[in-house]
């Protein structure tokens, strides 16, 4: 197991890229800026290592990372309608950074923070502890929150993300990582033929602004039913209004049944790569990069629609407006602790 750091020149004076490398050669690289995961190399069925996430060719472009490539997201992942919520009878107004709504922590979210990083390695894993204190009122949110995120790569080709946070006041919080996965390797193909299997029988209905309506729908007899496996292209070709609202694809919160050991399994038939997701989070937003265009210079090629799939394990901001949704309420002095493991295998 190895860890290393490499200062990034020409961007910020305090930007550093860190590398976690296991004994098989699998590598995870990330920045202290936004905790952004820039590279994950994983083997295909012929043990050929290639990058399986989207990242910019020029690190300067992460300063304007509107697609949140690889970033840590918070304080609240997802959309908050009108940027407004009530907490303990008090009105809280957040900045609006997506039309009339607040998205992914706002214009100064955790994706734009320079985190403190402490590397570690053991006989079986290489990792890093990312720490940051978000002060009361930062991003419009109440409470001073002490955050700690652990990235860990094991010799079993598991990449684990553990989140911890404590607030000195009642607040709202749900954290996630916004990596775009593409198992074809080095962005050789789009993700339309990726097959997804998901332990979920319910998803959240959205309106035309991608704001939850308050309805939780059954996946049965829809292209949102991934319980037995389904290709992403099914949702792209779908005439379902929910897919059309999401710009012909998926950008929806799925509620996990937690009946299987693994909540998500993604496979890519040509490379033979398989990515499994195991989490204690109540659900996940699956976003199929429907909003990407061709204007961004990525490491391997120009960007395009459907080039990556995000697996954003989290709770639901819809709980601020509607009952029956996984809560994001965090009482003062109560420990927020969540974990997601991405395991890379082959078939």
Of the residues 195, 268, 312, 321, only one is catalytic, namely 312
Distance separating alpha carbons of residues 166 and 331, to the nearest angstrom: 9
Of the residues 102, 178, 194, 252, only one is catalytic, namely 178
For the question of residue 164 being annotated catalytic, the response is: no
pTM of the predicted model over 0.95: yes
Q: Are 294 and 302 in contact (CB under 8 A)?
A: yes
pLDDT for the residue 257: 98
CB count in 10 Å sphere of residue 339 = 15
Distance separating alpha carbons of residues 21 and 27, to the nearest angstrom: 4
Burial (Cβ within 10 Å: 0-12, 13-18, ≥19) of residue 128: buried
Distance separating alpha carbons of residues 249 and 135, to the nearest angstrom: 37
Low-confidence ranges of the chain (pLDDT < 70): 12
For the stretch 270-285, pLDDT in tens is 999 999 999 999 999 9
**153-175 CB burial, b ≥16 within 10 A, e <16:** bbeebbbbbbbbbbbebbbbbbb
Query: Which residues is 198 bridged to in the sheet?
Result: 264
What is the distance of C-alpha 80 from the center of its chain?
17
Helix H or strand E segment including 154: strand 145-154
Token readout for 309 is 């799939």
pLDDT for the residue 12: 66
Distance separating alpha carbons of residues 220 and 196, to the nearest angstrom: 16
Query: Which residues is 284 bridged to in the sheet?
Result: 254, 313
Helix H or strand E segment including 233: helix 233-236
What is 2-346's CATH number? 2.70.98.10
For the question of residue 312 being annotated catalytic, the response is: yes
For the stretch 142-176, pLDDT in tens is 999 999 999 999 999 999 999 999 999 999 999 99
Domain ranges of the chain: 2-346
């Amino acid at each position: 197991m190895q860890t290393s750091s490499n200062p990034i020149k020409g961007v910020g004076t305090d930007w550093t890229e860190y590398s976690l490398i296991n004994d098989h050669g699998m590598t995870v690289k990330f920045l202290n800026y936004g905790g952004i995961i820039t590279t994950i190399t994983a083997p295909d069925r012929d043990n050929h290592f290639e990058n399986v996430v989207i990242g910019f060719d020029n690190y300067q472009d992460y300063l304007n990372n509107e697609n949140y490539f690889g970033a840590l997201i918070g304080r609240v992942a997802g959309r908050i309608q009108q940027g407004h919520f009530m907490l303990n009878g008090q009105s809280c107004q957040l900045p609006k950074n997506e039309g009339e709504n607040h998205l992914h922590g706002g214009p100064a979210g955790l994706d734009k923070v320079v985190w403190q990083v402490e590397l570690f390695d053991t006989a079986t894993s290489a990792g890093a502890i990312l720490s940051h204190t978000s002060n009361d009122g930062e991003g419009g949110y109440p409470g001073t929150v002490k955050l700690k995120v652990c990235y860990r790569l094991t010799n079993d080709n598991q990449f684990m993300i553990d989140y911890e946070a404590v607030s000195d006041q009642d607040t709202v919080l749900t954290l996630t990582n916004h990596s775009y996965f593409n198992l074809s390797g080095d962005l050789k193909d789009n993700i339309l033929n990726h097959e997804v299997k998901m332990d979920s029988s319910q998803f959240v209905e959205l309106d035309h602004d991608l704001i939850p309506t308050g309805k939780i729908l059954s996946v049965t007899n829809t292209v949102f039913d991934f319980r037995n496996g389904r290709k992403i292209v099914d949702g792209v070709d779908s005439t379902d209004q929910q897919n059309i609202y999401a710009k012909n694809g998926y950008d929806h919160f799925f509620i996990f049944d937690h009946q299987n050991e693994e909540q998500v399994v993604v496979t890519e038939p040509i490379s033979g790569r398989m990515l499994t997701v195991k989490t204690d989070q109540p659900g996940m937003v699956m976003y199929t990069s429907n909003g990407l265009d061709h204007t961004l210079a990525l490491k391997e090629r120009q960007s395009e629609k459907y080039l990556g799939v995000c697996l954003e394990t989290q709770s639901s901001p819809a709980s601020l407006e509607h009952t029956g949704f996984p809560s994001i309420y965090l009482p003062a002095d109560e420990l927020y602790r969540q974990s997601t493991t991405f395991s890379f295998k082959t078939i």
